[in-house]
Amino acid sequence: MPYFDAASAAPLHPVARQALLAALDDGWADPSRLYREGRKARMLLDAAREAAAEAVGCRADELTFTPSGTRAVHAGVSGALAGRRRTGRHLIVSAVEHSSVLHSAEVFETEGGAVTQVPVGRTGAVEVGSYEAALRPDTALACLQSANHEVGTVQPVAEVAEVCRTAGVPLLVDAAQSLGWGRVEGGWSLLTASAHKWGGPAGVGLLVVRKGVRFAVQGASDERESGRAPGFENLPAIVAAAASLRAVRAEAEQEAVRLRELTARIRARVPELVEDVEVVGDPERRLPGIVTFSCLYVDGETLLHELDREGFSVSSGSSCTSSTLTPSHVLKAMGVLSEGNVRVSLPAGAAEGDVERFLAVLPGVVAGVREKLGAPVPTATVHAAEVVVDSLGKRCPIPVIELAKVIGTVPVGGRVRVLSDDEAARLDIPAWCEMRGQEYEGEEKAERGTAYLVRRLS
């Protein structure tokens, strides 16, 4: 069964498996003890730290192993903010950061800190000038991912790091998605990553704090991992994480070329094979294995289930796969279509034949989902050149389907007023207008929900 969700968790690399099994035999003792078994464990831990530091491009004593990438982010953000408390209580993040960064920002805000969220364009990238404009005299820390986890867009980290360095502000980089492909360039100050993203075992994160960066560990600590990750080290997993990082880096250059060709094929052919599709993310500045697209008039959760039945494991940022029924914060920040969203993230070694079979299966799956959903007869009231569509209580993609069905009933220049109480409509109706060449006039408060105004241009 083709596994196309490597951006969530990459399959365990063979080198990681070998290292893990070997370390279970030799690395079970306490590395802080001086007897023979402890010294052997310490040697394994030191070697793993050296290997990981070489891959990151930092000193070994700057790198801490944490119980997860999320824990690395939380510790890095809180420690850097606490270390620079005298400077101020202002934090900068991008609107498309991983939820672990945004959750850290929320906690900081509830504790009285100020947070500036830098917007992104339709490709998902930040503008360097936006970070520069967000900097203030009381800015304690800025955060920016190296590449986006949902759409694959690579961020201008080196340029933002230089802007921050000039202002004397440390930059924390979440490198979870990109570290397996190469070092993060630029003068960043802190870096986090997670082993399960590059084919290492789950439960190992990296936190790098450059020398000279003010940092104060928050919460209870002990003598392990410089006090930044208390508790007994999971040494076998750490050894496997470091070994697999070195192994995937050795393969990265050649594999990147191959995966870029496969994802470029998906980006080009999906719109040819399936009508009413928007491919999102930067077409050039992107990670090798990720491609994301959204399909109009499709329930994202149903689409993923149908693809699973056909043997393909993919993920989604669609609002319809969320328990909160709200769009992915990444797609929302980009202002792109969220309904029927599919993220294909190819693991190393993904077969060309599997990609071709996915492209062969996709059109029929999308058509089947659209047929199952049908086109509900909209509740419509005609007022001269205006049609009011009552989609209250209906979830994505029904409001957009109903809009599409009635747009032709008003004359050119006429208007459709869509009433909806679904948060996804705020994103998907403007996206539909852009895709279909109609004019989105904005929104108005309604007695219930919101009225979205669309003028027919063609």
Catalytic center residues = 320
Location of structure tokens 């209906």 = 394
Asked if 172 and 142 touch (Cβ cutoff 8 Å), the reply is: yes
> Burial level of 381, CB count in 10 A (0-12/13-18/19+)?
exposed
Cβ neighbour number for residue 46 with a 10 Å cutoff: 12
Cβ neighbour number for residue 330 with a 10 Å cutoff: 27
Strand partners, 294: 278, 341
Residue 294's alpha-carbon distances to 122, 205, 267, 410, in angstroms, are 14, 31, 11, 27
